[in-house]
Amino acid sequence: MAPIILFVPGRLCLFGEHSDWAGMYRTINSNIEKGLAIVTGIEQGIYATAEISDRFIMCGQGDSLSNEHFECEMDSKELLITAQKGGYYSYVAGVASYMKDHYVVGGIKVTITKRDIPIKSGLSSSAAICVLVARAFNRLYDLKLSTEDEMRVAFHGEQRTPSRCGRLDQACAFGGRPVLMEFDGDQINTKELQVGGTFHWVVANLMSSKNTIKILGDLNRSFPFASNDADRKLHEALGIDNRRIVLQAAKLIEMGDAKELGALMNEAERNFDEKVMPACDELKAPVLHSLLNDPAIAEWSFGARGVGSHGDGMIQILAKSKRDSEQLKVYLEEKKNMPSVSVTIRPSSKIILAE
């Protein structure tokens, strides 16, 4: 069988970060609000080829990737040991061990040919590689898994690592389509919604650092039951506050109202800082907040906020126009030395809306 070609993009969470894993706690505490998030794929991601092999092999091709190599017997226990150690290869090992435990599969060789998504920046690079490995097994062994099934495999594979992500990250499996996802315990519900206008986002790498595992660990300590006022505020922010904001955002996207959507981004960020930031020092994010308060950025944008788990990883900015987005990119890259990408949603795009 000839090698197959794969591409899985990163994903940008526009609204609703952290509500996916918080919504999963409804299986223990039914008073927790259902999670809700709007997510879109981006152009950057991971490109690879994959073929059947006697072992599980992950390697890189090309000057920037040639030093990347992981190889292991297709043995669930051995793969699980690697997964539990943490690190970049823990993600692929976790997915491979899950596949071996639940499906009739042998080994595969995955060769990364290009990766233009920033790592550890809130654009789901770890989820993208997990989905890519799950998709490689699915197609090479003709498992006939749906996109949702690939997401499930990727999620459970990542859960075998020290990372404690929610179900939102694996939305990169949908590709470039914007989606709105509802998280009710173990269930994910979706429904389509037409996009009513063109929205121009600029997403920039803050060229700093963030510790996603620490952020998730600190925030998860307040769940499933709130034991103090700080916990209750965190539950509100990721629950009832989040649902109100995300449903309003879905309506504004349907209406094509970029100005009001930007204002809602600012409101969501203020609420996050008030009720979520106190739970983890990583969320103080001085670099992110310096840009959120930058008058030059405000001149070209309707609103801005953090990305993914937040922290000093990435910033997303809703530009007033295509021209403004271009000026933002120049400013960020030349004045701030922060690489940036454009994410555009047009009326022909669709959003998956949870009921």
pLDDT, one tens digit per residue, over 101-157 is 999 999 999 999 999 886 765 677 888 999 999 999 999 999 999 988 998 999 999
Residue 26: both structure tokens together:
């409804």
C-alpha 112/C-alpha 50 separation (Å) is: 9
- Tell me which residue has tokens 């506050």: 241
Determine if the pTM surpasses 0.95. no
Total tally of structural domains belonging to the chain: 2
Residue 186 in any domain: the answer is: no
User: What tens digit of pLDDT does each residue of 338-354 get?
Assistant: 999 888 888 866 555 54
Contacts of 63 (CB under 8 A, 6+ apart): none
C-alpha 266/C-alpha 172 separation (Å) is: 25
Q: Are residues 158 and 39 in the same domain?
A: yes
* Domain limit, last residue, from 138, 153, 178: 178
Q: Are residues 155 and 252 in the same domain?
A: no
Q: Are residues 313 and 174 in the same domain?
A: no
Residue 65 in any domain: the answer is: yes
Domain hosting residue 135, numbered range = 4-178
Nearest to 27 by CA among 243, 220, 182, 186: 186
Task: Name the percent of the chain lying above pLDDT 70.
Answer: 94
